[in-house]
């Protein structure tokens, strides 16, 4: 069952699920999906593991910084996180969010715009 918007769990539940109508099992939606996977994560985690606890903390810091940038960029453009997958995120951007925010929908350009700010 979807968490109510004012629920303490709301920050941890995708907006898409929070806004889902009770009793509706299928919806057709227009929008974009962005799957962002951190390149080189395995080799980075192996290198940092050699540092012990300090390396683990550095890894968490680095991943958090990248994810914060991606999530923030997506949220500014009407997007939301659907799923975390270890070193990857699945972001959605629905057309109705784009229209509400006065943004013209251009799937390829928006996907690039959402992903670009976190690159260093």
Read off the CATH number of the domain in which 109 is found.
Answer: 3.30.70.1230
Q: Is residue 108 part of a domain?
A: yes
Residue 35 located in a structural domain: yes
Token readout for 32 is 């974009």
Residue 118 banded pLDDT, cuts 50, 70, 90: very low
**Stated pTM of the model:** 0.64
Question: What is the pLDDT averaged over residues 13-21?
Answer: 85
Stated length of the chain: 120
Q: Which pLDDT score is estimated for 4?
A: 53
pLDDT value of residue 66: 87
Please check the confidence at residue 53 and state whether its pLDDT lies above 90: yes
pLDDT of 107 higher than 50:
no
| Residue 16: inside a domain | no
92 in Cβ contact with 16 (< 8 Å): yes
Residue 109 has pLDDT above 60, yes or no: no
Query: Which residues constitute the domain of residue 100?
Result: 30-118
3-state secondary structure of 10: helix
Number of domains in the chain: 1
User: Could you tell me where the DSSP H helices lie in the chain?
Assistant: 15-18, 41-49, 53-76, 95-100, 107-115
The pLDDT assigned to 78 comes to 81
């Amino acid at each position: 069952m979807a968490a109510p918007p004012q629920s303490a769990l709301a920050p941890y539940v995708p907006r898409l699920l929070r806004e889902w109508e009770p009793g509706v099992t299928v919806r057709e939606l227009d929008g974009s999906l962005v799957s962002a996977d951190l390149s080189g994560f395995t080799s980075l985690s192996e290198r940092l593991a050699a540092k012990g606890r300090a390396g683990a903390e550095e890894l968490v810091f680095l991943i958090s910084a990248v994810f914060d940038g991606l999530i923030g960029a997506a949220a500014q453009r009407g997007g939301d996180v659907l799923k975390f997958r270890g070193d990857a995120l699945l972001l959605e951007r629905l057309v109705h969010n784009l229209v509400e925010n006065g943004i013209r929908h251009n799937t390829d350009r928006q996907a690039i715009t959402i992903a670009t700010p976190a690159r260093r």
